[in-house]
Chain A
Amino acid sequence: MKRSIRAIIRLLPVIAIFLLGVEIIVANELAGLGKTLGNIDSEIAKESAVNEMLATRVASSSSLLTIREKAQALGFREPTAKQLLTLNPSELPVAIDNSVR
């Protein structure tokens, strides 16, 4: 009993030094991770900027201005007289191609 207690008491400083070493290593690793965090933040900022840019491109492509220009380029024209073709009351009217072929 006395021997085992003495053995534990002799081991305690070793354990303490070991744990101190582990703490130093872990703290050092964490401290160094700041640079990685900084890099990740930069990447996030870059991707956010790309997302913002893409959102503006989507908005521009789906704007009425763009749709009108593309429709005119494809040959759609304002009908001289309004014509409505409704498939059933709950559906939207369809466009009628009145171009002369």
Chain B
Amino acid sequence: MVRAWAVFGCLLFACSLIILRLFYWQVIASNTLRLEAASQYFLQFTLPAARGSILASDGSPLVMNQPAFLVYAEPRLIQNIHAFVGSVAPVLALDPTELTQQLSDPERVWLPLAHKVESGVADSLRSLNLTGLGFEKEPKRYYPEASMAAHLLGFVGSDVNGEDMGYFGLEGKYERELGGKDGVIQLEKDAQGNPILIGEAKRIEPEDGRTLVLWLDRVIQEIVERRLREGMTRYGAAEGSVIVMDPKTGGILAMATFPSYDPRVYASFDKALYKNPAVASSYEPGSTFKSFVMAAALEERSVTPMETMDESGPVQVGEYAVRTWNNEYHGPITMTQVLEYSSNVGMVYVSRELGEEKLISFIKNYGFGKLTNIDLEDEATPELREEREWHEIDYATASFGQGIAVTPLQMVRAAAALANAGKLMEPHVVKEIRDRKGNVVPIAPRMVRDVISPSSARVITEMLVSAVDNGEAKWAKPKGYRIAGKTGTAQIPVAGHYEENKTIASFVGWGPADDPKFVMLVTLREPTSSPWGSETAAPLFFTITKDIFSYWGIPPQ
């Protein structure tokens, strides 16, 4: 009886062990086993989404994709490492010693050799028919216009996972739209790795990135970049920028800043160059700001164009004496002549007539001190001081554009309001977004607010036409055209004082004055040939204007 029970006990024990083991494999380890089995009979790979293109207003591509490959090695399949290295290293410019070392590592199963290798190079490697050399599609950005509009476009780098990601400019701002969404395909496969059609299949189609169509006119962009480069050389400027905007829509027709970088090889440039100074850097605008203060005074009926003031000498503001830029005084002058002579003394009179509260109010209405909401990643704005921090001298200097910081984009947008019957528009680079199926999402121009009335806008336009025709820069103006504009020469503040010989020369204007097709701001930092805007930025503005009129076929009026 005891023996029978002992045998029964042993059988029971053995059965329990089997049951426990079965429980382990079928319950605890089931997920792991299911996944391992799936990897044997399921074929799964990612369907990468193609990144969207960026097109100019005429549909020409500024950025698109070109075929490129990740080249990799599978060391365990390589028969002769030295021959392999001898063939591959020179083509990919790799260090043969280091490559040999890496391929000889017995733990290595897979080794990436080079990323984003262009088709030509990949084809030459393929023709070597090397076992253990593989290629994976890894598209690369292509720039048909080379480094044109680099700051506007931004560039594509890698994120922490090595995936493509846009930085700065449009590539950064529209990363989600351009990047799209990868798809996946999962198929049952046979023993040889071929898909089984009647087997289980799951496919999620990739959503390719969308295409951005810009307001940017590539011909105007080319004109602007070429003339700006020439101008910086001629006038010896350290930095220069030009923005051209359509005043009626807020569309950016061209935007260029130098020094710049090449997005194709962005890593070889100083990171400080990636940010777009036209939207991210600030400067004191100088006399170009007089246009806005005068327009505000006209709107409030504080002054009229033919009203006179006595410019007999410097004007006292508290303990300070404000002088004209050239220390010349003309006696009784009209408001129009205040702009023609670019009289700081005259502008102090205007700002006093306008009043401190109204001056600050209009400065804010023009959009200064706030982001413009342009669709670029790097926009920044200097803050306006709190009203309680303004003293009498600050109101006086603000009237002629010193002691107040603005960005070039804020300046050109405010000028566009004067050219657009007083309507302040939201600036935009992208006009519409298209997907692969042909659906188009337009980005409608958006009016922010009315800053001044259409009648005040007409009056200030005429005054600024007169400033161009009779001012310091009249020699550079193209004959037969009515162009409204204002020169500016601002000293650069450094550590609490103004640098003696360093200026920012600028010119802001629009044309044709009667039906403006564009507004443009030209700024040159520290021109060495002459510090004055009338002798540097203004002639550059008019040179670009002549080219634009010619391109658009606008004859003299």
Contacts and interface: CB of A to CB of B under 8 A. Distances in A.
B197 A59 contact: no
Interface in A52-101: 52-53, 55-56, 59-60, 62-65, 82, 84, 86, 91-93
Interface string B181-209: 00000010110101111110000000000
A30 B197 contact: yes
B64 A59 contact: yes
A31 interface: yes
Contacts of A65: 144-146
Interface in A31-63: 31, 33-35, 37-38, 45, 49, 52-53, 55-56, 59-60, 62-63
B197 A84 contact: no
Interface residues of A, number: 26
The 6 closest A-B pairs by CB, nearest first: A59-B144, A34-B195, A63-B144, A34-B194, A35-B194, A49-B67
Nearest to A64: B222
B66 A56 contact: yes
Given A49-B119, A59-B144, A64-B222, A38 B194 contact: yes
B198 A55 contact: no
Given A34-B197, A38-B195, A59 B61 contact: yes
Most chain A CB atoms below 10 A, which of B60, B144, B218: B144
B474 interface: no
Given A30-B197, A59-B64, A93-B553, 17 more contacts: A27-B198, A31-B190, A31-B196, A34-B189, A34-B194, A34-B195, A34-B197, A49-B137, A52-B139, A53-B67, A53-B119, A59-B61, A62-B60, A64-B219, A64-B222, A65-B144, A82-B550
Given A49-B119, A53-B119, A55-B64, A33 B197 contact: yes
A76 B180 CA distance: 43
A82 B66 contact: no
B552 to A, nearest CB: 9
B65 interface: yes
Contacts of B66: 52-53, 56
A53 B65 CA distance: 9
A59 B143 CA distance: 9
B218 A64 contact: yes
Interface residues on B, range: 20 to 34
Contacts of A91: 553
A72 to B, nearest CB: 13
B218 to A, nearest CB: 6
B115 interface: no
B64 A84 contact: no
Contacts of A64: 145, 148, 218-219, 222
Interface string B435-461: 000000000000000000000000000
A27 B190 CA distance: 13
Contacts of B362: none
A86 B144 CA distance: 31
A75 B43 CA distance: 59
Contacts of B119: 49, 53
A60 B197 CA distance: 41
A8 B218 CA distance: 81
A93 B550 contact: yes
B329 interface: no
A86 B553 contact: yes
A65 B264 CA distance: 16
Contacts of B148: 64
A95 B192 CA distance: 65
B142 interface: yes
A56 B197 contact: no
A34 B64 contact: no
A69 B364 CA distance: 47
Contacts of A86: 553, 555
23 contacts: A27-B198, A30-B197, A30-B198, A31-B190, A34-B194, A35-B192, A38-B195, A45-B137, A49-B137, A52-B67, A53-B67, A55-B64, A56-B144, A59-B142, A62-B144, A64-B145, A64-B148, A64-B218, A64-B222, A82-B546, A86-B555, A91-B553, A93-B553
Interface string A6-40: 00000000000000000000010011011101100
A41 to B, nearest CB: 9
Nearest to B192: A35
B19 to A, nearest CB: 38
B402 to A, nearest CB: 37
Interface in B113-156: 119, 137, 139, 142, 144-146, 148
B145 A37 contact: no
A9 B342 CA distance: 112
A57 B196 CA distance: 38
Interface string B537-557: 000000000100010010100
